[in-house]
């Protein structure tokens, strides 16, 4: 079963625009992570936000977490063609154990 659900499922934007992806989850968590995947193979960790944090930045990435709504958002500012990939949120199950992924958002950034 999947814990997180991202929306939109697909997003198409022009270079230089901002991209926002949202994630909702079902159970209490300790942390939420965002990952990126190119070409359907290995995933790369982008950022981790803890349940007691509300916002976190890393370069052009900004992540927010609202535990009352069980939701998170990932903002990529000033997007580049190289940002084209699938983005997934992942949560633990509240027990610091398994990491569970959502279905992902496919982002296409056009030059």
At residue 81, φ and ψ (nearest 5 deg) are -55, -35
* Nearest distance in Å: CB 6, other proteins: 8
Per CB under 8 A, 41 contacts other proteins: yes
The pairing of beta strand 61-66 with beta strand 71-76: antiparallel
CB-neighbour burial class of residue 45 (10 A; exposed 0-12, middle 13-18, buried 19+): exposed
Applying CB under 8 A, which of residues 13, 61, 75, 103 lies at the interface with other proteins? Answer: 103
CB-wise, 10 or 78, nearer to other proteins?
Answer: 10
Cis geometry, peptide bond prior to residue 8 (ω within 30 degrees of 0):
yes
Report the C-alpha gap between 66 and 4 in whole angstroms: 14
CB-wise, 14 or 97, nearer to other proteins?
Answer: 97
Applying CB under 8 A, which of residues 2, 20, 22, 73 lies at the interface with other proteins? Answer: 2
Per-residue binder mask for other proteins (CB under 8 A), 73-102, x = binder: ---------------x-xxxx-xxxxxxxx
**Contact yes or no for 73/18 (Cβ under 8 A):** no
Q: Please report, as ranges, the residues that interact with other proteins according to CB under 8 A.
A: 2, 4, 30-31, 33, 35, 40-45, 48, 88, 90-93, 95-104
């Amino acid at each position: 079963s999947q814990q997180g659900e991202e929306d939109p499922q697909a997003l198409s934007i022009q270079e230089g625009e901002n991209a926002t992806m949202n994630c909702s989850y079902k159970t209490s968590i300790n942390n939420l992570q965002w990952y990126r995947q190119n070409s359907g193979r290995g995933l790369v960790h982008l950022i981790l936000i803890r349940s007691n944090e509300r916002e976190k930045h890393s370069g052009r990435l900004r992540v927010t977490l609202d535990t009352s709504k069980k939701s998170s958002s990932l903002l990529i500012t000033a997007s580049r063609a190289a940002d084209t990939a699938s983005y997934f949120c992942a949560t633990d199950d509240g027990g610091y154990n398994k990491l569970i992924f959502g279905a992902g958002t496919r982002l296409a950034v056009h030059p």
